[in-house]
C-alpha cells in the first residue's frame, strides 16, 4: 500500500509517468490476485502470463502469473526461439540485434522454466517483450537461484503468484550487502535504446496450508559482479518495492492485512 507523502516522492522519481488501468477483462485474469498493481506502460496478455510493457524503455516493467504445482516439470523443452513481439508496433519493440555483442544476456522476466507445461507456453516466454538486458553474473547465479526457490513454493503449497519487475533508478538507496549507489544517466543498449535496469525484484504470494497468506519480496542490484551472500540477504518489504516503482501490489486485500504483510521482511526462504 502506498502511504503518506509517497505520492509526492513518486512525482520526483517518475515525473514523466502516470499509472493507468488495463482493459477491464484483464482484471479477472487468474494471473493476478488481490488487485491490479498499476502500469506505467501498456498491458500485454500472453495467456500464460501478463506483461506490463514500457514502450519507451523497450522492456517489461513487470510480469505476473499464477504458478501451479501441476504446471511444473512438464514435457516442453527449451528451444531458445527468441523473437520480436508482433503485438507491438516496430517503434515500440526491441530487436535481436539490440542485444548482439552488448555484454548482456537476454534475461527473462517470466522465466522459461516456469512454463514447461506445453510447447506453446514455453515458446511464449521468448518474445523480446519478456526480455531485459541482464548481466550473466546475475542471470545465471543469484537470480537463477531465486527463480528455482519460487518454483519450490508452488511445489510445496500447490500454487503461488509471482510478480517480477525492473527498476530504473540511478540513485536508489544503498543495499546493506553491496553498499553501493549509482549516479548518472540511464544506460541503454542497441539502436532501439533498450533500457538497462539498475535493479530487479521478485514478489511471491502463496496461501499456507492453514489458509493464511505468505508474501516474500526480493530486490537485487544489477551490476556486473557476483552478488555476495545468500538469496535471503536480498529479502525486502513489499512496501520498499512500491516506493521504488510507484506500483501498489495486493491493494484489494483488507488494509490491516495488506499493511502488515507488506511492511514485513520475510526471510523464511527457501520454503523447502
Please write the tens of the pLDDT for every residue from 226-267.
999 999 999 999 999 999 999 999 999 999 999 999 999 999
Q: Is 256 part of a structural domain of the chain?
A: yes
Q: What is the pLDDT of residues 180-233, one digit of tens each?
A: 445 557 899 999 999 999 999 999 999 999 999 999 999 999 988 899 999 999
Q: Is 38 part of a structural domain of the chain?
A: yes
Q: Is 232 part of a structural domain of the chain?
A: yes
* Count of structural domains within the chain: 1
pLDDT confidence bin for 26, thresholds 50/70/90:
confident
Task: Report the alpha-carbon distance of residue 164 to residue 60 in Å, rounded.
Answer: 9
Q: Is 65 part of a structural domain of the chain?
A: yes
pLDDT of residue 23: 78
Domain interval for residue 37: 6-263
Q: Is 270 part of a structural domain of the chain?
A: no
Instruction: Say what the alpha-carbon torsion angle 132, 140, 204, 227 is, to the nearest 10 degrees.
Output: -100
Q: Is 268 part of a structural domain of the chain?
A: no
In CATH, what number is assigned to the domain containing residue 176? Answer: 3.40.570.10
Task: Report the alpha-carbon distance of residue 22 to residue 37 in Å, rounded.
Answer: 10
pLDDT confidence bin for 271, thresholds 50/70/90:
confident
Higher pLDDT, 17 or 109: 109
Q: Is 124 part of a structural domain of the chain?
A: yes
User: What is the full DSSP assignment across the chain?
Assistant: ---TTHHHHHHHH-TT---B---GGGGG-TT--SS---BSSEEEE-SSSEEEEETTTTEEEEEEEEEEGGGSS-S-------B--TTS-GGGS--HHHHTTSS-EEEESS-GGGGTT-HHHHHHTTBGGGEEEE-HHIIIIIHHHHHHHHHHHHHHHSEEEEEEEEE--TTPPPPTTT-----SSPPEETTTTEEPPSEEEEEEEEE-TTS-EEEEEEEEE--SSPPPS-GGGGB--HHHHHHHH---TTTTS-HHHHHHHHH------S--
Q: What is the pTM of this model?
A: 0.90
Q: Is 45 part of a structural domain of the chain?
A: yes
Amino acid at each position: 500500500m502506498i502511504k503518506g507523502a509517497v505520492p509526492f516522492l513518486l512525482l520526483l522519481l517518475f515525473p514523466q509517468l502516470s499509472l493507468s488501468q488495463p482493459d477491464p477483462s484483464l482484471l479477472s485474469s487468474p494471473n493476478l490476485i488481490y488487485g491490479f498493481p498499476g502500469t506505467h506502460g501498456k498491458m500485454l496478455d500472453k495467456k500464460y502470463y501478463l506483461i506490463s510493457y514500457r514502450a519507451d524503455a523497450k522492456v517489461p516493467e513487470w510480469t505476473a502469473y499464477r504458478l501451479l504445482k501441476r504446471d511444473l516439470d512438464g514435457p516442453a523443452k527449451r528451444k531458445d526461439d527468441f523473437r520480436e513481439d508482433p503485438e507491438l508496433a516496430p517503434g515500440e519493440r526491441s530487436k535481436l540485434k539490440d542485444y548482439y555483442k552488448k555484454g548482456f544476456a537476454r534475461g527473462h522476466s517470466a522465466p522459461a522454466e516456469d512454463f514447461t507445461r506445453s510447447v506453446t507456453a514455453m515458446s511464449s516466454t521468448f518474445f523480446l517483450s519478456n526480455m531485459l538486458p541482464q548481466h550473466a553474473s546475475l542471470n545465471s547465479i543469484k537470480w537463477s537461484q531465486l527463480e528455482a526457490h519460487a518454483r519450490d513454493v508452488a511445489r510445496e503449497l500447490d500454487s503461488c503468484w509471482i510478480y517480477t519487475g525492473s527498476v530504473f533508478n540511478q540513485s536508489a538507496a544503498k543495499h546493506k550487502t553491496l553498499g553501493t549507489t549509482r549516479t548518472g544517466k540511464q544506460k541503454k543498449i542497441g539502436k532501439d535504446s533498450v533500457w538497462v535496469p539498475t535493479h530487479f525484484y521478485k514478489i511471491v504470494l502463496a496461501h499456507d496450508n492453514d489458509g493464511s497468506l505468505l508474501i516474500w519480496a526480493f530486490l537485487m542490484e544489477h551490476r556486473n559482479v557476483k552478488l555476495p551472500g545468500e538469496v535471503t540477504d536480498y529479502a525486502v518489504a513489499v512496501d520498499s518495492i512500491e516506493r521504488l516503482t510507484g506500483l501498489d501490489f495486493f491493494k484489494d486485500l483488507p488494509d490491516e492485512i495488506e499493511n502488515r504483510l507488506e511492511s514485513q521482511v520475510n526471510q523464511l526462504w527457501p520454503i523447502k
